[in-house]
Amino acid sequence: MKKFLWAVLFIPVGSIAQQLHITVRGGFSGYQGDLQSKQIALNQSNFGFGLGLKYDLNPHWSVRTEFNSGKIEADDKKNDPNLQLRNLSFQSKIVEGNLLLEYSLFNLSERKFTPYAFAGLAVFHFDPYAYDTLGNKIFLKPLSTEGQGLPQYPNRKEYKLTQMAIPMGVGFRYKVADNITLGYELGIRKTFTDYLDDLSTTYVDELVLAQERGLKAVEMAFRGGELKNSTASYPLDGELRGGSQFKDWYYFHGITLTVGLNSNSSGGGRKGDTRCPKPVL
């Protein structure tokens, strides 16, 4: 035990710091699903940011962990003309924690620039809402707009607001100083839910929904009647509301800043240090 303690005391202080970096990202967040079919839609993006740590295993491979936050939204008014009569919309805050493995093509101790790719696992939280005709913020999950959790629709299970996702993406870094890099990153998240937007399958019976969840649920499940000069009525039970074939996605992209915790760090690799270690006393 004494030998182990002395070995720890003589570990070079910089040996870990040279490999550890703080990462900051500022940019945009968005989503793809039944209310937004485009993979990247800048007109319905919102500010998103991330803060994390990156640890270099070697000049090419790194492990990252991050906290990300952003807002996603979409509106049928900006959707395909055939879907605008549905007149649905949603917004949701996304909060995410992840663990990623990253591969950098070049060693930044030898180059000024490197592209990189990453993938991993994430846990995220969402809670879709919309605004009614009076401007009141209405959270959608408790309304069971597609019969989720109602005994009349046993196959419509309630969705969980905290779920797993698979993050993956690409980016590039440019070394502006020995321990500072700037770059751009795009990261998409494959989810296992089709309810980021509270929209997935078919309409349920209007009377059943009103009886179980109230008139507000009926109002928020179909909003075509709110359009100017509209004579639309609530659709029949079983009529198509969304498409359940594909799950929803969300994404973050923006400018990244990586700062090494030691001046010998370069944000994606490190040179060897042949100096004698100083004891930590």
Q: Are 40 and 244 contacting, i.e. CB atoms less than 8 angstroms apart? A: no
In 3D space, the residue among 10, 18, 30, 83 whose CA is nearest the CA of residue 57 turns out to be 18
Tokens coding 83: 């879907």
How far apart (Å, rounded) are the C-alpha atoms in residues 107 and 113? 8
What's the confidence (pLDDT) of residue 83?
82
Instruction: Give buried/exposed letters for 222-243 (b at 16+ CB in 10 A, else e).
Output: bbbeeeeeeeeebbebeeebbe
**pLDDT tens for each residue of the chain, 281 residues long:** 444 334 433 434 444 545 899 999 999 999 999 998 777 877 889 999 999 999 999 999 999 999 999 999 999 998 888 788 899 999 999 999 999 999 999 999 899 999 999 999 999 999 999 999 999 999 999 999 999 999 999 999 999 999 999 999 999 999 999 899 999 999 999 999 999 999 999 999 999 999 999 999 999 999 998 988 888 899 999 999 998 888 999 999 999 999 998 744 444 444 444 444 444 44
Q: Are 120 and 99 contacting, i.e. CB atoms less than 8 angstroms apart? A: yes
Whole-model pTM: value is 0.85
Read off the amino acid at residue 163: Q
Domain 1-126+161-190+248-281, CATH among 3.90.1150.10, 2.60.120.380, 3.20.20.60, 2.40.160.20: 2.40.160.20
Phi, psi (rounded to 5 degrees) for 6: -65, -35
Tokens coding 180: 């500072």
Q: Are 250 and 115 contacting, i.e. CB atoms less than 8 angstroms apart? A: no
Contacts of 169 (CB under 8 A, 6+ apart): 117, 118, 119, 185, 186, 187, 188, 251
In 3D space, the residue among 100, 96, 103, 37 whose CA is nearest the CA of residue 63 turns out to be 100
In 3D space, the residue among 272, 280, 281 whose CA is nearest the CA of residue 11 turns out to be 280
Please report, for residues 60, 69, 168, 170, 175, the alpha-carbon distance to residue 179 in angstroms, rounded to integers and kept in the order given. 16, 26, 25, 21, 8
How far apart (Å, rounded) are the C-alpha atoms in residues 105 and 117? 9
Tokens coding 266: 């370069």
Please report, for residues 173, 217, 220, 257, the alpha-carbon distance to residue 139 in angstroms, rounded to integers and kept in the order given. 40, 10, 10, 35
CATH 2.40.160.20 positions along the chain are: 1-126+161-190+248-281
